[in-house]
């Protein structure tokens, strides 16, 4: 499995601080058996996010693209809109499970606007920007991701 990690943070893109969230997403990708072939840090720009998602899916042929950041209520949080523009079909159960897992860790769990979906044969999943949240919500969906990727690829799989 080929994976890409896309950190969406204008401050991190300017070099302000370490990209801890991207590192943790890379660890999650490795944990589910994926090889991380690309890691990028980009600004909170809807057109740029959409372009990078399309490129990683269509040109790099990633099986999964994991994003972090830009899923909240701030006017600059446009990752869900860019993701919806790039995907063919939504996969609502993944962000629903992630929000449910967040509930025990933060009282603001319902403020996540993260989405997930499929573009061609690529699964794209938005994660929160908080490094601690990535592990919490990642644990909630990690077991389902390999099975989802098998289904997307059209490989026979037990249900």
Q: Which residues contact 59 (CB under 8 A, 6 or more apart)?
A: none
The overall average pLDDT reported for the chain is 95
Cα-Cα-Cα-Cα dihedral sign, residues 110, 113, 114, 116? positive
What pLDDT was estimated at residue 67? 98
Q: Domain 2-152 is classified in which CATH homologous superfamily?
A: MoaB/Mog-like domain (3.40.980.10)
Which regions in the chain score pLDDT beneath 70?
157-159
pTM of the model: 0.96
Give pLDDT, residue 153: 94
């Amino acid at each position: 499995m080929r994976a890409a990690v896309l950190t969406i943070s204008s401050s991190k893109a300017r070099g302000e601080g370490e990209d801890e969230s991207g590192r943790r997403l890379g660890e999650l990708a490795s944990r589910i058996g994926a090889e991380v072939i690309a890691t990028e840090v980009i600004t909170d720009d809807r057109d740029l996010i959409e372009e990078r998602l399309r490129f990683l899916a269509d040109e790099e042929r990633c099986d999964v693209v994991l994003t972090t950041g830009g899923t909240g209520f701030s006017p600059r949080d446009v990752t869900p809109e860019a993701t919806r523009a790039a995907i063919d079909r939504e996969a609502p159960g993944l962000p629903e499970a992630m929000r449910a897992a967040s509930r025990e860790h933060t009282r603001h769990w319902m403020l996540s606007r993260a989405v997930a979906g499929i573009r061609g044969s690529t699964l794209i999943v938005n994660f929160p920007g908080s490094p601690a949240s990535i592990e919490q919500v990642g644990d909630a969906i990690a077991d389902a991701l390999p099975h989802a990727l098998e289904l997307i690829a059209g490989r026979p799989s037990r249900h």
